[in-house]
Structure formats: C-alpha cells, structure tokens
Amino acid sequence: MASHIELNPVSHLTIGTIGPPGKRVFYLQGSRGAQTISLTMEKEQARMMAESFAALLDELNTQHPMDTRELSEPIWLDMRLKEPVEPLFRVGNMGLGYNEETNQVVLVAYELVDEGVEPNVVSFWATRPHIKALITHIQEVVSAGRPICGNCGQPIDPEGHFCPHRNGHAH
C-alpha cells in the first residue's frame, strides 16, 4: 500500500549530488525535525524544478505580494545533504502548489512506478523565501557538472569527447 508523507513545514529542503561529474546522482532531500526524507531524481528534473519554482514565485509575487519586511530579511540556509543519504524512492512526477492561508509553497513528489501501481508520495511545504534560496542553489548544483561542448551542446567527459559536429573527431 502506497504512503503519503507530509513534511509541513520543512526545516530543511535541498537538492544535492553524490559522485563525480558525469556520474553524479541527484537527490531531493527534506527534513522536518528528526525526520529526513531523501529521494533520487534526474538532473533535468532538478533543472525543471528550479524553473517551475521561479515561475510560481513570479506569479505569486504578482497575485499575493509579500510584506516588504519578509522580502528584506536574509535567509541563511545550510543546503548540504544530511547524511546518511538513504533514498526512499526515485521521483517520477512532481507538482507544485500554494496555500494562501499559510503562505507556503508545496512540492509534491510522486514515486516512479509501473502503470497501474499506486505511487508513494512526499509533500514538502516551505516558505517563499526558502524556495527563492533553493532556486539559486539548484541552479548552482545543476551547472556544476561537466563542461558543455561549444559545438554540439553535449557534456564533455573527462576522458574525452566525441563530437558529431567535428566530423567524429574526438577532442
């Protein structure tokens, strides 16, 4: 039977990686008190999460402007993964939402499962300033990977790179 875990509100929410560039495993991790949930995900899911969060915050800032005091207060967060990192499941789909009463953003992560199987679900509830800090962190983590080839746009492996735009010549 599938479970639904609610971390409302999170005391810690981050994206992190383990492993060298090219072999990194991406993790979505959130905590509430002593409970820490880690989920594996793809790099592109992390990139899309940051873009989706940014779009949601832009929309919320228009429809539900924050108090100027809330906007000016700096938020200092430890964005490192908490050890041990033991993933509960691999993320399949994700959804975003907003609760106007609590002024919180929710990220709902669904387990990647075969068709017809009910997925496990984890909901991470966070403040808008926390999400804003998370967006910047995700962008840094995603861009910290392998350098991109200027010819074909593919990542360059440390052992060399086969570039189809250079007629198959490795560089």
User: What are 69's two structure tokens?
Assistant: 């005091």
Assess if residue 107 is contained within a domain.
yes
Assess if residue 58 is contained within a domain.
yes
CATH code of residue 158: 3.30.2450
The C-alpha atoms of residue 153 and residue 151 are separated, in whole angstroms, by 6
What's the pLDDT at 168?
A: 53
Assess if residue 76 is contained within a domain.
yes
Higher pLDDT, 50 or 72: 50
Per residue in 71-97, pLDDT (tens digit) is: 544 456 788 999 999 999 999 999 999
Per residue in 110-157, pLDDT (tens digit) is: 999 999 999 999 999 999 999 999 999 999 999 887 777 777 777 777
Assess if residue 171 is contained within a domain.
no
Assess if residue 131 is contained within a domain.
yes
The gap from C-alpha 68 to its chain's centroid, in whole angstroms, comes to 27
Number of domains, the chain: 1
Assess if residue 85 is contained within a domain.
yes
Predicted confidence band of residue 166 (pLDDT cuts 50, 70, 90): low
pLDDT at 160 over 90: no
Domain hosting 122: range is: 4-166
What's the pLDDT at 149?
A: 77
pLDDT at 33 over 50: yes
* Nearest alpha carbon to residue 124 among 114, 134, 115: 134
User: What are 44's two structure tokens?
Assistant: 């592109």
What's the pLDDT at 5?
A: 96
Assess if residue 28 is contained within a domain.
yes
Q: How is the chain classified by DSSP, letter by letter?
A: ---EEEESS-SEEEEEEESSTTS-EEEEEEEETTEEEEEEE-HHHHHHHHHHHHHHHHHHHHHSPPPHHHHHS------SPPSS--EEEEEEEEEEEEETTTTEEEEEEEE---TTSPPPEEEEEEEHHHHHHHHHHHHHHHHTSSPBPTTT-PBPBTTB-B-GGGTT-B-
pTM, full prediction: 0.83
Report the alpha-carbon angle 130-83-113, nearest 5: 75
